[in-house]
Chains A and B, each alone.
Chain A
Amino acid sequence: MSVNWSKYSAPQAFYPLAGRLIPWFAIVAVALMGVGLYMGFFVAPTDFQQGESYRIIFVHVPAAWMSMFLYVVMAVWAGIGMGLNARLSYMMAQAIAPTGAMFTFLALLTGAMWGKPTWGAWWVWDARLTSELLLLFQYAGIMLLRTSIDDTRRADRSSAVFALVGVVNVPIIYFSVQWWNTLHQGASVSMATGSKMASTMLLAMLIMTVAFWLYSIAVILARVRCIMAERESLSVWDEQTAVIQDAAEAR
């Protein structure tokens, strides 16, 4: 069976598809979050030097990964939008920003809560923390820029340029702990050196990462449906047949 995927680049076709996918992503995300948190809090062993306080890693690291990953995805959608002049790509970029900002904030918040008992400080201005804070400002800036421009097409293009320019910060965040000496420790899990964690700890962290990933997809799809409905100024989109009822006609 061959599926004509390109038809889903049209909002009319994508809208009902997204609607059908959301519950599945949401259900699996919640289930995995339950499993991941249970493993993280009750199954994973106590750490040899940090005791129990290290357990915030099961939220902190997946949130930080998502904050960077979602930014790259947003920039890619923004780039595709600019290259192809595709409305749906811009809408995807717009839908990703709030979730990315939320994970960035979560990473910074859990980081502060972790920093106080281990390092002895809520916040330090080292390269890792500062560049992650900058990422939060980038997300906020992109969202503000969009709302400050009334014309949708201009707002799309401006925020796409902002998103693309800001993508240079992502490798800076990731490699900051290697390039400069920082208070933040190096990566515990990396492609190059493998894992420096006990295997149950690693498993719980990866489950949480997948859970956050699926949560992001569910929330972003829900948000992109709202954006579509808003932008197309259509009050009713027929889910089953994907027929748009022209608002003017309905009136």
Chain B
Amino acid sequence: MKPRHKRFAFIGLGLLVLGVATVLILNAFQSNLVFFFTPTQVASGEAPTGRSFRIGGMVEDGSLVRENDGLTVHFIVTDTAKRVPVTYKGILPDLFKEGKGAVAQGQLIANGTFVASEVLAKHDENYMPPEAADALAKAKASGAQQSKSLVVPQGKKESL
């Protein structure tokens, strides 16, 4: 083996060791790296109690209720398995909608309600013109579109 082969082997080995170490470290800190907890995790007691944390999921359809003061809102965050009622007083982001993703920061109170101090909207990775979204929604409603997501099917891409 020439010296330069040795050096390359050394670099490769170093990167490999480093990669394995990183994987182990990230696994160990797995629970600290999540940005929010899902309602299922909250229900199973994985979320911290007695201190502030974030909860994330879909805003359940038809669950958004606005109080008369115009600022206080109640809604339910769901991951389709579990539901957590959320109360928030403040301005909601423009993209906050029923049936869309949201992340709320706050605390669970005794009756199981999550009192949020901040609500963020989480949008998905699909981008398309509104007409295409409408067409997909209609197709989905009539049962033609089986896909759960709004992913554009291969054949329809050209028509966009």
Contact = CB atoms under 8 A, between A and B. Distances in A.
Given A83-B7, A199-B160, A167 B15 contact: yes
Interface string A102-144: 0000000000000001111100111100000000000000000
Interface string A156-196: 00000000110110001000000111110111100000101
Contact of B15 (A45, A164, A185): A164
B120 A45 contact: no
**In the complex, which range does the number of interface residues on chain B fall in?**
35 or more
Contact of B11 (A125, A164, A187): A164
B81 interface: no
B18 interface: yes
A24 to B, nearest CB: 33
A192 to B, nearest CB: 13
Nearest to B95: A118
A49 interface: yes
Contact of A185 (B30, B33, B123): B123
Interface in B47-106: 56, 92-96, 100, 103
Contacts, number: 126
Nearest to A86: B4
B95 to A, nearest CB: 5
Contacts of B118: 120-121
A57 interface: yes
Contact of B132 (A85, A120, A164, A198): A198
Nearest to A169: B22
A6 to B, nearest CB: 14
B120 A121 contact: yes
A130 B127 CA distance: 24
Contacts of A54: 127
A124 B35 contact: yes
A79 B130 CA distance: 48
Given A48-B134, A120-B95, A180-B30, 20 more contacts: A79-B11, A82-B11, A83-B4, A84-B4, A119-B122, A120-B118, A121-B118, A125-B35, A168-B18, A168-B19, A172-B22, A182-B35, A183-B120, A185-B122, A185-B125, A188-B125, A188-B126, A188-B127, A196-B125, A198-B160
Interface of B: 4, 7-8, 11, 14-15, 18-19, 22, 26, 30, 33-36, 38, 56, 92-96, 100, 103, 118-130, 132-134, 151-152, 154, 157-158, 160
